[in-house]
């Protein structure tokens, strides 16, 4: 699972639309609903919506620019995308001061350090929770039934995303207990883990070298994510890190083999270990077990890989992983060295 | 490592065992005699090996006293040469006694390896030289000291290679075997506690040593509280480090090169500059893991001012 801003935008407006139709005769309602999709796509402004809905729509546009287009942009485009993203978020906040997604996304550019960003998120999380819960109660009362359930989920998502960001930020700051606490708070509020915060939790537990906690998380997967087994890149990499820390190199190597067997082009990502900017709206939505997912998991795993006094600058685990994967997957090693060789040429 | 003292003790104790029935006073006199000319008494193979090592360590330390005049490149070359010479002497010591653990340990450390291969080497030494340590304080038995030094080096290398639980347990095994902990394994333990955000273990080890503070305990406390996001307390701890450690602010804000320990930490006065520099060097992997930590420290004007004052007073670069 993952947060999908466009789908959420659609869901918000369809709920609002359904609410407005209630009371009309059912045939008219179903006719009206038949045109909803077209109107959503082509004539959004003709649909009923609140300022909060409009603000969220601006958030989806900002997400499109910052999270999904910026990574592929040229320098000139990048500047434009960033300022466009910021303007959209500002506008969202001017429409709806409780647009927590906009406030959260904007804070990454407005705070001067990762600590400050963390403190900003931690400092307002209770307020965000209270606001989202209040909205949830209102929505359940207004909609009731199945729609009420969907509406309630949608109301809580900004809080969940807030906590997911907080957990990730705490992890980057080196506050691993705080990362665990934020992740657990999110899992308590959303036991089905729409945000996939258990991935961040796995890394935080590995940082704390909490073998039991990680084993327990693996068991909890059955209830947290019944449709996705505990074989994703995050929990596997967390286990590789712990095996390496207890000098159980064969178990660590087994974990890497598992990743190589599960993810395509995984060897290359594990050798390169590139660090990418995190998604501002939420962790980027990519194909599970796809090429992009391993890249994201490795990028978030830099906190584990780049630790220790290794002279190569890659970190003790990072160096070991690159070496072990090169042995397990020589083709990927060739490709990685070809590309870094090529980069050397371009730089000159 | 006070290699000469240990050599003297070893020689005198062997003599006493051979002669049998020596009074305390006679043993004192024997000690004086050995101290005057240890080489003459180093008859058994372990003593001859230790004699070679003691001389080699002296030569190594002596050759370091000219480093200040060298530029970076010359320093690197000189350092490599010096470490290589020390390793060659370790080989000579091992030719006297192949079971000289100190020579094996110094040689391994002087190879200046990356953390993972170093740890592997240390652990394999630990297996090869495994022995039951006596109850009480193993430090009192001079033949146990090399084992304690090895375990302490294992603990420090675990920190270097980001294995903090293992660092804790290796350090604890040293403290359990030698409760007086002359090797300062508790310092390594405290750093590992900071990294693991393990406040109860930090408090416990501090209490075990009667709350005797050190540059490590001060620094570990700042890191621990910072990581636990208890910022006012972390600020007070930083203030404590600045007040109670001579040159603490300087060492933290201007970290300098600290040579590898051969085979253990050089002696230094408690909470003095040298100790601070060692603590900061050992904590380096932990500091790097809290990316905003140094920025946060630098944000306190009083800390930077204190570091600058110290530098000026002691004619150090700032």
Q: Do A309 and B289 touch (CB under 8 A)?
A: no
Q: Do A173 and B291 touch (CB under 8 A)?
A: yes
Q: Which two tokens stand for residue A151?
A: 């509406």
pLDDT digits (tens, 9 = 90+) for B226-240: 999 999 999 999 999
Q: At what angle do helices A75-95 and A100-110 cross, to 10 degrees?
A: 140
Residue B99 pLDDT more than 90?
Answer: yes
Q: Could you identify the residue written with the tokens 């992009």?
A: A292
Report how far apart the first and last C-alpha atoms of chain B are (Å, whole number). 32
Average pLDDT over every residue of B19-28: 89
Q: Which residues touch A318 (CB under 8 Å, ≥6 apart)?
A: A273, A302, A305, A306, A310
Q: A36-40, A210-214, A239-243, B112-116: lowest mean pLDDT where? A: A36-40
The alpha carbon dihedral of A40, A41, A45, A46 has a sign of negative
* Cα distance between residue A104 and residue B55, in whole Å: 64
Average pLDDT over every residue of B72-85: 94
Q: Do A99 and A131 touch, CB atoms closer than 8 A?
A: no
Facing B115 at nearest CB: one of A115, A176, A310:
A310
* Cα distance between residue B212 and residue B202, in whole Å: 13
Distance, C-alpha B280 to centroid of its chain: 13
Facing B162 at nearest CB: one of A114, A173, A245:
A245
| Residues of B in Cβ contact (< 8 Å) with A203 | none
Q: Do A174 and B290 touch (CB under 8 A)?
A: yes
* Cα distance between residue A38 and residue A56, in whole Å: 19
Average pLDDT over every residue of A250-261: 97
B-facing residues of A in 299-318 (CB < 8 A) are: 303, 307-311, 315-317
Determine the residue among B119, B162, B234, B299 to mutate to test chain A binding: the one whose Cβ has the most chain A Cβ atoms within 10 Å. Answer: B162
Q: Do A309 and B161 touch (CB under 8 A)?
A: yes
| Residues of B in Cβ contact (< 8 Å) with A209 | 163-165, 196
SS (H, E, C) B60-118: HHHHHHHHHHCCHHHHHHHHHHHHHHHHHHHHHHHHHCCCCHHHHHHHHHHCCCCHHHH
Sorting pLDDT into bands at 50, 70 and 90, what band is B95?
very high
- SS3 label, residue B130: coil
Q: At what angle do helices B199-208 and B185-195 cross, to 10 degrees?
A: 160
Average pLDDT over every residue of B287-308: 97
> Which of B273, B282, B284 minimizes the C-alpha distance to B311?
B273
Sorting pLDDT into bands at 50, 70 and 90, what band is B255?
very high
- pLDDT given at position B70: 86
A-facing residues of B in 281-300 (CB < 8 A) are: 284-285, 288-293, 295-296
Burial class (CB in 10 A: 0-12, 13-18, 19+), B256: exposed
- pLDDT given at position A41: 83
- ∠ CA A157-A161-A167, rounded to 5°: 145
Q: Do B80 and B40 touch, CB atoms closer than 8 A?
A: no
Q: B55-69, B104-118, B250-264: lowest mean pLDDT where? A: B55-69
Q: Could you identify the residue written with the tokens 């194909």?
A: A287
| Residues of A in Cβ contact (< 8 Å) with B290 | 173-174
Residue A46 pLDDT more than 50?
Answer: yes
- pLDDT given at position A341: 67
Average pLDDT over every residue of A161-184: 98
Facing A176 at nearest CB: one of B123, B160, B197:
B197
Q: What is the ipTM of this complex?
A: 0.95
Average pLDDT over every residue of B26-54: 95
- pLDDT given at position A347: 34
For the whole model, what pTM was predicted?
0.95
Q: Which two tokens stand for residue A88?
A: 């959209």
pLDDT digits (tens, 9 = 90+) for A239-253: 999 999 999 999 999
Report how far apart the first and last C-alpha atoms of chain A are (Å, whole number). 43
- SS3 label, residue B26: helix
pLDDT digits (tens, 9 = 90+) for A103-142: 999 999 888 899 999 999 999 999 999 999 999 999 999 8
pLDDT digits (tens, 9 = 90+) for B140-184: 999 999 999 999 999 999 999 999 999 999 999 999 999 999 999
Is the CB of residue B76 less than 8 Å away from at least one CB of chain A?
A: no
Q: A5-14, A17-26, A65-74: lowest mean pLDDT where? A: A17-26
CA dihedral A222, A228, A233, A234 (to 10 degrees): -40
**Which CA distances in Å does B208 have to B152, B202, B213, B215?**
18, 10, 12, 17
* Cα distance between residue A268 and residue B171, in whole Å: 38
């Amino acid at each position: 699972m993952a947060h999908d801003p466009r789908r959420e935008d659609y869901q918000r407006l369809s709920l609002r639309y359904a609410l407005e139709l209630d009371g009309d005769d059912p045939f008219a309602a179903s006719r009206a609903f038949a045109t909803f999709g077209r109107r959503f796509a082509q004539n959004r402004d003709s649909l009923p919506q609140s300022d909060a809905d409009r603000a969220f729509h601006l958030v989806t546009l900002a997400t499109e620019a910052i999270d999904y287009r910026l990574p592929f942009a040229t320098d000139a485009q990048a500047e434009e995308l960033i300022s466009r993203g910021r303007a959209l978020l500002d506008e969202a906040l001017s429409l709806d001061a409780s647009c927590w997604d906009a406030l959260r996304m904007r804070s990454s550019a407005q705070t001067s350090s990762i600590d400050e960003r963390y403190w900003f998120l931690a400092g307002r999380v209770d307020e965000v929770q209270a606001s989202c819960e209040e909205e949830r109660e209102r929505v359940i009362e207004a909609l009731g039934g199945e729609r009420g359930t969907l509406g309630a989920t949608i109301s809580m998502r900004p809080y969940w995303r807030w906590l997911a960001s907080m957990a990730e930020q705490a992890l980057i700051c080196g506050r691993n207990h705080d990362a665990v606490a934020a992740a657990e708070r999110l899992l308590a509020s959303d036991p089905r883990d729409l945000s996939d915060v258990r991935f961040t939790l796995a890394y935080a537990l590995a940082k704390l070298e909490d073998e039991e906690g990680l084993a327990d998380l693996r068991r909890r997967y059955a209830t947290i994510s019944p449709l996705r087994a505990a074989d994703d890149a995050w929990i596997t990499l967390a286990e590789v890190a712990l095996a390496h820390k207890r000098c159980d190199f064969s178990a660590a190597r087994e974990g890497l083999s598992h990743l190589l067997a599960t993810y395509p082009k995984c060897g290359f990502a594990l050798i390169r270990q590139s660090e990418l900017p995190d998604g501002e709206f939420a962790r980027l939505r990519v194909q599970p077990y796809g090429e992009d997912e391993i890249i994201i998991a490795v990028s978030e795993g830099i906190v584990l890989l780049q630790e220790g006094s290794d002279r190569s600058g890659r970190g003790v685990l990072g160096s070991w992983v690159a070496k072990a994967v090169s042995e397990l997957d020589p083709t990927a090693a060739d490709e990685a060295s070809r590309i870094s060789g090529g980069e050397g040429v371009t730089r000159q | 490592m006070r290699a000469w003292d240990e050599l003297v003790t070893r020689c005198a104790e062997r003599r006493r065992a051979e002669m049998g029935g020596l009074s305390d006073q006679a043993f004192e006199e024997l000690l004086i005699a050995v101290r005057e000319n240890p080489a003459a008494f180093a008859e058994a193979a372990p003593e001859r090996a230790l004699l070679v090592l003691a001389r080699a360590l002296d030569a190594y330390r002596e050759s370091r006293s000219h480093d200040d005049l060298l530029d970076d490149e010359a320093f690197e070359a000189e350092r490599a040469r010096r470490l290589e010479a020390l390793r060659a002497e370790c080989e000579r010591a091992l030719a006297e006694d192949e079971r000289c653990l100190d020579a094996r340990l110094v040689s391994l450390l002087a190879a200046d390896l990356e953390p993972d291969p170093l740890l592997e080497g240390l652990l394999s030494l630990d297996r090869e030289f495994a022995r039951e340590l006596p109850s009480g304080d193993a430090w009192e038995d001079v033949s146990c000291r090399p084992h304690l030094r090895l375990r302490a080096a294992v603990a420090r290398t675990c920190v270097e290679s980001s294995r903090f639980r293992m660092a804790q347990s290796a350090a604890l095994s040293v403290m359990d075997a030698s409760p007086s902990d002359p090797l300062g394994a508790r310092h390594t333990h405290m750093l590992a506690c900071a990294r693991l955000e393990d406040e109860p273990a930090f408090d416990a080890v501090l209490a075990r040593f009667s709350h005797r503070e050190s540059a490590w305990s001060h620094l570990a406390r700042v890191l621990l509280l910072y990581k636990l996001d208890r910022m006012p307390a972390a600020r007070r701890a930083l203030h404590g480090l600045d007040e109670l450690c001579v040159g603490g602010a300087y060492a933290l804000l201007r970290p300098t090169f600290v040579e590898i320990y051969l085979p253990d930490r050089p002696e230094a006065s408690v909470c003095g500059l040298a100790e601070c520099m060692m603590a900061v060097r050992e904590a380096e992997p932990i500091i790097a893991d809290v990316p905003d930590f140094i920025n946060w420290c630098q944000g306190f004007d009083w800390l930077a001012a204190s570091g600058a004052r110290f530098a000026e007073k002691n004619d150090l670069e700032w």
